[in-house]
Amino acid sequence: MSSERPKLGPDIPKAITGWNSRTGRVIYLTADRNWSESLSEACVMTGDEAQEALRFASTDQVRVSDPYFMQVTQDGLISGRETLRETIRARGPTNHPMFGKQGGDL
Amino acid sequence: MYRYDEFDEGLVRQRARQFRGQVERRLAGELPEEHFKPLRLQNGVYLQLHAYMLRVAIPYGQLDGAKLRGLAEIADRYDKRYGHFTTRQNIQFNWIRLEDMPEVLDRLADFGMHAIQTSGNCIRNVTSDPFAGAGADEVEDPRPWCEIIRQWSTFHPEFSHLPRKFKIAVSGGGHDRAAIRVHDIGLDLKRNSEGEIGFEVICGGGLGRTPHVGVTVREWISKPDLLSYLEAIMRVYNRHGRRDNKYKARIKILVNELGEAGFRKLVEEEFAAQHESEKVVLPQTEINRIEAYFAPPVFDAALPTSEIFDAARKTDKSLDRWARHNVRPHKIPGYASILVSLKPLGAPPGDATSDQMRAIADIADRYAGGDIRVAHEQDLVLTHVRLDDVPSVFAALQAAGLATANGGLITDIIACPGLDYCNLANARSISVANSIQEAFSDPNLEDLIGRLHLNISGCINACGHHHVGHIGILGVDKKGEEFYQVLFGGRADERAAIGEIAGPGLRHEDIAPALKRVVERYLVLRSSPEETFIDTLERLGQAPFREALYGAS
Amino acid sequence: MALLRHGRVGSCHRVFSETGFGECAARDVIVTLRSFLEDQTSPTPHREDVGIRLRPDDDPALLANNLDAVSLIEVEFPKYTDGRGYSIAQLLRRRYGYSGELRAVGQILRDQLLLMKRSGFDAVAFDHPDTEGVYAEAVGELSEVYQAAADGSISIFLRRRTDLSPGRLT
Ligand code: HEM
Ligand code: SF4
């Protein structure tokens, strides 16, 4: 059992994701330190900048719950060993095409 | 079934109000998530991959038409028109917003329902036999004692921060259909040598990452002593259970570390040390009051067989096949219990849409005295149906897409939500279940195979009971790819056993073909058509099946 | 850190001493179970007004025979999720008949206060801008109980008996 995510080295590009505390919807940290439901608006970071952003996110409790790093490419596409998990989070369950964001449910 | 009186209802309402306050404090920033989490869990609220999830308690799996309609309403108003029935006889809603939770709980309270202690490190929903009160083999109906335990364990001030979750199951003393040997405490109604009915107390069973079959701590305890004895066990666990490592915190680990005799000694000493003033006082009038709610319905003095039913079976092959698998014997001649399969081909095991819930509620009200149970196999049971009415029930179920004829068969799969929903998952469960159902969708093949329990979990936590399936499947993550280990030989009944891992994991797409080979091997090896898969496996051991599993790949 | 006794802000001048009584009077310190037990077997034991702090893995049975000497027991909750202290409290109150001050210390959050009160704690070390108000609110959230416990509440199992109707009790 683990809700802990794999460690990502400092040079690996990453985004910060979590859940909207009020609704539970999946959200991503944007460059202006807001939260977006759209992965395409996620801020891609590395190194200290990323650490600093995660510190910010962890204090932003009213807006986000359980923020963590997810691995992305430089272009902000999901990558790494948790690709399936993060794809399911970003789109919705694979067994139902209409549930989650894939169904246009926003 | 039990009806909440002013005390029960008052507490449910107060609890809803208390939780409303907790949610408000969380959303106002007064309560950090770390501190809120144990509070929301004690009220069944998880944070899953896509959303918050609410697990609503269905104590010992008992529902009636009104409650099921209430759940349907929640699904419609706050979720996506469906719910997921679980192996612990509860229901989960996958898409409820935290901000809506207080309103949902208020509405649930209107139906006499709640989410109290459906998660968290406390005594969880008490589970039981879905055929309780109908099984010819039971010593006594276990439900009154489930209700008594529900009340005693609700908001217990001493046992609300246990080392880990705590699950109690009660069986009526016949065949074990409540998996009591894989619970933290399993209780089995039984007579002592004087013929008095009490309980055998089994302790230390559990699944998860170190599965154990429970051991008998007490051969027999009288009814008046039951709750005090449970308090003794709980206190030993609360004080001595490990808190340094949450993977070693379940009572099964304590039982194992102390040894059966050592654990029993601590419990017996604690029980013996209780002063009279510490005993749980449960007046006989109160037992009688609760038992009265579970008095059997008035059964017609019907004939043991039904001409209507027999005639219908002769003319309708699909009814006949469904009846073979989904109509179960009842202690009263002329009656049956009906298993409503929630495992149609290609849908998530255990899911029911709100329309289906309403359909079942209507059918139950019309034909089954409103008595509906959730089975730990994630199916529903209409407990008391007249044989004469079975064809009508079948027709009504068929119209609602609920007449899947696979009770106890290989496609009646137990599966957890897995990686499609669960934040702890390693791999998907639903899609594997569906691929297996597809592979075995030929009814003739399924009939030929007969009884076979197949259970799937998406990670080591074992919510899908993979250890106790005749065939178990466990999702693992191998460098970012879903793999599935196969286990053979588990069972959850009175001969409970933990399945053994066959070998290296298989890929998602290889599971169904591999299982087909296994089952074909079984069909060749069985000594007669009556020898079930698990019997053949126990007679021959794993080897031939393991060989078949990895055979062609 | 505010100290609440029976829901009212109070104070306590005693200090915790890891090393035992030393030169202090018993009523000025709070000692560990171990120091207390050592002291009890010494030639000049403290027989009155002793304060003890129990760790969650301490066995309260060791106190059973000397509770007359004790007027304060602190039970430590190292983490709010560590529930051993509730069992210790029930044992002290219900089995060993302790009637002095029973105080919860450590990581204590608002939503545990009701459990603590029910388990027999009459004092808690608890901080909040509105300590008394929050305490009153928290312990009042559930007004009926399914179990007898150290707070003396009467269980619903008993309350339901007609001769113990709410009207007769309150
Ligand atoms: C969806 C969110 C869920 C989460 C986060 C979750 C979490 C867990 C965890 C962490 C455990 C392991 C406990 C331990 O070993 O100490 C567990 C066990 C279990 N869960 Fe779940 N679970 C979920 C859903 C379900 C569902 C849908 C079911 C029923 C289908 C279920 C039934 C069980 C059962 C029967 C066990 C095994 C009990 C045992 O270990 O003895 N859970 N769950
Ligand atoms: S077994 Fe694992 S994947 Fe399945 S529901 Fe439980 S925690 Fe989630």
Q: Where are the domains of chain B?
A: 6-110, 134-291, 307-399, 414-549
Spatial distance between the Cα atoms of B407 and B413, rounded to a whole number of angstroms: 9
Instruction: Tally the C-alpha atoms within 13 A of residue A33's C-alpha that lie toward its C-beta.
Output: 11
Q: Is B204 helix (H, G, I), strand (E, B) or coil?
A: coil
- Name the token pair of B353: 């849409």
Q: Is A90 helix (H, G, I), strand (E, B) or coil?
A: helix
Tell me, what DSSP letter sits at residue B281? P
Instruction: Characterize the bridge pairing of strands B454-457 and B414-415.
Output: parallel
CA A14 from centroid of its chain's CA atoms:
9
Predicted local distance difference test score (pLDDT) of residue C52: 98
Query: Is residue B83 a contact partner of residue B357, using CB atoms and an 8 Å limit?
Result: yes
B307-399, CATH topology level: Sulfite Reductase Hemoprotein; domain 2 (3.90.480)
Tell me, what DSSP letter sits at residue C92? I
Spatial distance between the Cα atoms of B218 and B187, rounded to a whole number of angstroms: 10
Predicted local distance difference test score (pLDDT) of residue B301: 73
Residues in chain B where the model's pLDDT stays below 50: 553
Mean pLDDT of A96-105: 80
Predicted local distance difference test score (pLDDT) of residue C168: 37
Predicted local distance difference test score (pLDDT) of residue C162: 60
- Chain C residue with minimum CA distance to B227: C147
Spatial distance between the Cα atoms of B150 and B59, rounded to a whole number of angstroms: 7
Predicted local distance difference test score (pLDDT) of residue C167: 39
Residue A41 has pLDDT above 60, yes or no: yes
| Axis-axis angle for helices B390-399, B317-326 (nearest 10) | 100
- List the one residue out of B187, B113, B111, B117 whose CA is nearest residue B146: B187
For residue A53, CA distances in Å to A44, B209, B231 come to 11, 35, 48
CA C87 from centroid of its chain's CA atoms:
11
Amino acid identity, position B390: V
Spatial distance between the Cα atoms of B344 and C140, rounded to a whole number of angstroms: 48
Ligand 1 lined by B492 (C-beta under 6 Å): no
Q: Is B211 helix (H, G, I), strand (E, B) or coil?
A: coil
Domain ranges of chain A: 14-97
- Chain A residue with minimum CA distance to B97: A23
Q: Spell out the CATH class of B6-110.
A: alpha beta
Same fold, B134-291 and B307-399: no
> Are B238 and C86 inside 8 Å of each other by CB?
yes
Considering CB atoms only, which of A3, A61, A88 is closest to B420? A88
> Could you please report the per-residue DSSP string of C35-75?
HHHHHHTSSS---SSEEEEE-TTS-GGGGTTTGGGEEEEEE
Backbone dihedral angles phi then psi of residue B329, each to the nearest 5 degrees: -65, 155
Predicted local distance difference test score (pLDDT) of residue B302: 67
- Which domains does chain C carry? 3-142 (3.20.20.70)
Q: Is B511 helix (H, G, I), strand (E, B) or coil?
A: helix
Residue range B414-549, CATH number: 3.30.413.10
- CB atoms < 10 A from the CB of B469, how many? 26
Ligand 1 lined by A62 (C-beta under 6 Å): no
Chains A and C touch (3+ CB pairs under 8 A): no
Predicted local distance difference test score (pLDDT) of residue A103: 78
Predicted local distance difference test score (pLDDT) of residue C143: 93
Q: Where are the beta strands (DSSP E) in B184-274?
A: 185-191, 197-203, 215-222
Alpha carbon nearest to ligand 1 atom 15, residue = B208
Q: Is A83 helix (H, G, I), strand (E, B) or coil?
A: helix
CA B377 from centroid of its chain's CA atoms:
6
Spatial distance between the Cα atoms of B371 and C2, rounded to a whole number of angstroms: 53
Closest chain A C-alpha to B233 CA, distance in angstroms: 26
Spatial distance between the Cα atoms of C149 and B152, rounded to a whole number of angstroms: 11
Collect all residues of chain C within an 8 Å Cβ-Cβ radius of residue B35.
80, 109, 111
Considering CB atoms only, which of A81, A84, A89 is closest to B50? A89
Predicted local distance difference test score (pLDDT) of residue C153: 93
Residue range B134-291, CATH number: 3.30.413.10
Considering CB atoms only, which of C112, C144, C148 is closest to B281? C148
Mean pLDDT of C78-101: 97
Mean pLDDT of C128-148: 95
B210 CA closest ligand 1 atom index: 15
CA B68 from centroid of its chain's CA atoms:
17
Query: Is residue C76 a contact partner of residue C105, using CB atoms and an 8 Å limit?
Result: yes
Assess: ipTM above 0.90.
yes
The residue length of chain B stands at 553
Predicted local distance difference test score (pLDDT) of residue B552: 57
pLDDT band at A100 (very low <50, low <70, confident <90, very high): confident
* % of chain A exceeding 70 in pLDDT: 95
Amino acid identity, position B46: Y
The pLDDT tens digits of the residues spanning C4-55 come to: 999 999 999 999 999 999 988 999 999 999 999 999 999 999 989 999 999 9
pLDDT band at C169 (very low <50, low <70, confident <90, very high): very low
Residues contacting ligand 2 via CB (< 6 Å): B 416-418, 422, 424-425, 457-459, 461-464
- List the one residue out of B340, B268, B61, B291 whose CA is nearest residue B179: B61
